[in-house]
Every structure is written in C-alpha cells, then in structure tokens.
Amino acid sequence: MMVTSIRRLFAAAALSASLIASNAQSSGDLPAKKEAPPYKVITSGKQITIKSSKTIQHVMLWTTDGNRVAEHKQINANSFTLNPGVSQKTFFLMVGLNNGNIYTEKLVIP
C-alpha cells in the first residue's frame, strides 16, 4: 500500500515537472525582428511611387480578390511609378530587388 502511494507521488511529480518544462520557452525560440524594407511607397491620388535604396528589378500589384493589376519586369531603377487603373482602394504590392530579396505588403490607397 505504501509503495503504491509513493509510486503515484513520483508519477505526479514527474508529470508536473514535464508540463512545466514543456511550457517554458527559451530565448532562442523567439521570432527574429522583421527588418524594414529598403524602399518607401508613396501614394498620390491613384499614383503609386516606389523609391528604393537598392535597385528595383520587378513590381507586381494585385487586388484583394487576387486579380493582377500590374506586373513590370526588368525595371533596373531605384524609383518606379505606376497607376493601377482600377477603382479598388486595397492592393497587395510585391517588390523584387536586385539582391534577390522580395518584399510583399498590403497597400491602401485613400
């Protein structure tokens, strides 16, 4: 009887210790901070201008419905301007740079 009680006590202690250890999170598991993209998006009316400190290779713009509005390749410039030509105000913008980095962001035009 005493041995059974001791076994149950050890089992409960082991279970508690494993639950506490599984809930602990080491600092190595934290997500890395997202660095700011090396470009700025400026909107004026329906015109969208992208100014970058790196060379822009390609730009794609699509609506929240998934319809592609614009796609421009081989831009090779630090600044690029486009006009969506549709009446929607919310878009997704993808900017590809010459170093291979690709950035995507949601864009709301007032």
Q: pTM of the prediction? A: 0.67
Mean pLDDT of the chain: 84
CB 103 within 8 A of CB 37: yes
* 82 Cβ contact partners less than 8 Å away, ≥ 6 residues apart: 47, 48, 59, 61, 70, 72
pLDDT tens digits, one per residue of 65-79? 999 999 999 999 999
Assigned domain for 71 exists: yes
Can you tell me the mean pLDDT for 31-53?
88
Assigned domain for 50 exists: yes
More confident residue, 58 or 33: 58
Domain of 68? 39-108
Does residue 16 register a pLDDT over 70? no
In degrees rounded to 5, what are phi and psi of residue 65?
-80, -10
CATH of the domain at 75: 2.60.40.1930
Confidence class of residue 108 from pLDDT cuts 50, 70 and 90?
A: very high
| pLDDT attached to residue 30 | 61
More confident residue, 19 or 54: 54
CA 82 to chain centre: 23
Assigned domain for 57 exists: yes
Domain count, the chain: 1
